[in-house]
Structure 1
Amino acid sequence: MIERFVPRTFVPRKGVFGLSMIAVLLGGVAAAQRGWFQDEISSGRNGVPDWEIDEDFRGDVFTFARIRYESYGGWGRRSRGGWRTDYPDSDLNFSLRLQQLTTLKVNPEPVILELTDDELFDYPFIYIIEPGALVFNEAEVEALRRYCLNGGFLMVDDFWGDSQYENLRLELQRVFPDRRPQEVPLSHEIFHCVYDLKEKPQIPAINGVRRDYDGSMITYERADDGSDTSTPHYRAIYDDADRIMVFICHNTDLGDGWEREGEAQWYFEEFSVKKAYPMGINIVTYAMTH
């Protein structure tokens, strides 16, 4: 039986990964058993430990900020949207791990924002998930452009296949008509700034992992359009100073690696510990230091 997490302090050193992190994380798991997302946003922490922050510095802590957006399903019908996928467990678990595994001071309570909210500029990091059917309105296009060009950082996660990427590319082209996403080389510091990753990680949903005939794990998910999803892509849109403004995690699902850590020991050890948390921590560290 997987035990719940007991909070403890740990600060990783650059280039140190594997046994040290596993030793900390295997002390328990910060997640309750999950169910499908209900019609109303879940309340409470679902068993994830809480912690205190200094009220004098509440405005200086890192807060995980998820973006709510419109999306459309079949026949052009407005859908409830994939923006809430993995919520709230993904955001809560990642905030906890970031608090434990780095020297960042982290807000235990993630937030949900819209791009047109006045307080958007209070959050230097924002997160969009499942953008395969995302549609920005004109006000959101302007707000996101202004946010990124003024130093903000957008992470996009959890979408698979060519058609979903094309939808995101076209929406981002509206935001940045003169900039195009570029594949980020493995040599880029975002893959090495805290944890020294040896490959671009691919994290599947927990129910998307399959065993090949030779016993190896197949870690990609099938795309609705039948396109090849076996290769994870990490693309970026840069500002004029060569800073990543938008980091796009395609053919991979970091959010599930955070959300599902408490559901199966094998998934926790293979994907949460080795891939999803190290990549997520690197991304946030880069965002907060550039």
Structure 2
Amino acid sequence: MRNIIYLIALLFISVGNSQQLAVLKYDGGGDWYSNPTAVPNLIAYCNDNLGTNLEEEVATVEASSVDIFQYPFIHMTGHGNVVFNTADIENIRNYLLSGGFLHIDDNYGMEPYLNKELIKLFPQKELVELPATHPIFNIYAKFPKGLPKIHEHEGKRPQAKGLFHEGRLVLLFTYESDLGDGWESPEVHNDPPEVRKKALDMGANIIKYVFTN
């Protein structure tokens, strides 16, 4: 019954005039607040290129807050430690099972901490690497090789991994790509325009996939 109520709330929000995205605030000491211009820039890009009607202002929502159910798409990033307590786990799990979507973008160094928390979130599920043929790489811009490499850290190949529930992708983890750095304003990292465009195009793919599937 509780999940049904949450689902109804998400559906109600989705038919409004505009939708707001949020950044997840979590415990553990990791810098959840990094890349402050990233999501606002992605929103502007999607509104201009996809015809979306996303609110310009990005919300911040805590992992255990009931407010999480107000947002159809939540972005999470950082460099370091991630800790979800029992209330966080239950809340995020209910959110995802009720129709919400969580995109986690490793800003470098998050992956080993995140993995142990995702096991708590869905003990019976595993992150699965998405093949380059998955629609998320082709729904707006075409990425025939899959997730693009935006920033080099350890020279590892970029990977997009997902958690599925009843065939629906509910969580996307982008690793060794650093999309968020590519979404940031040009002066932050001095990325060439073609690199920023790749990052923003991939971000637009994610947004379009989430809102049309």
TM-score range, shorter chain: 0.7 to 0.9
Match of 1:270 among 194, 203, 207: 194
Q: 1:268 to 1:106 in 2, by over 3 A?
A: farther
Paired residues for 1:245-256 under 5 Å: 245-256=170-181
Partner of 2:90: 142
- Gaps in structure 2 of 5+ consecutive residues: 1-13
- 2:41 and 2:185 in contact (8 A); partners too: no
Partner of 1:261: 186
Deviation of 1:180 (Å): 0.4
Deviation of 1:167 (Å): 1.9
Deviation of 1:122 (Å): 1.4
Partner of 2:148: 201
- 1:131 and 1:156 in contact (8 A); partners too: no
How many angstroms apart in 2 are the aligned matches of 1:185 and 1:171? 24
Q: Aligned residues, how many?
A: 199
Structure 1 segments, 4+ long, off by >6 Å, are none
Structure with max Cα Rg: 1
- Gaps in structure 1 of 5+ consecutive residues: 1-56, 72-78, 205-219, 223-228
Partner of 2:104: 156
Partner of 2:208: 285
Q: Deviations over 1:28-53 (max 9, x none)?
A: xxxxxxxxxxxxxxxxxxxxxxxxxx
- 2:129 and 2:159 in contact (8 A); partners too: yes
How many angstroms apart in 2 are the aligned matches of 1:138 and 1:263? 36
Q: Match for 2:31: what amino acid? A: G
How many angstroms apart in 2 are the aligned matches of 1:192 and 1:166? 29
Q: Match for 2:195: what amino acid? A: F
Q: Deviations over 1:238-265 (max 9, x none)?
A: 011x111110000111111111324577
Q: Match for 2:148: what amino acid? A: P
- 2:66 and 2:91 in contact (8 A); partners too: no
- 1:131 and 1:168 in contact (8 A); partners too: no
- Counterpart of 1:128 in 2: which secondary structure? strand
Match of 1:119 among 67, 91, 104: 67
Paired residues for 1:37-186 under 5 Å: 59-71=16-28, 79=29, 81-87=30-36, 89-130=37-78, 132-160=80-108, 164-186=110-132
How many angstroms apart in 2 are the aligned matches of 1:131 and 1:140? 20
Under a length normalisation based on structure 2, what TM-score does the superposition of the two structures give?
0.86
- 1:159 and 1:165 in contact (8 A); partners too: no
Q: 1:137 to 1:150 in 2, by over 3 A?
A: same
CA RMSD, Structure 1 to Structure 2 (Å): 2.0
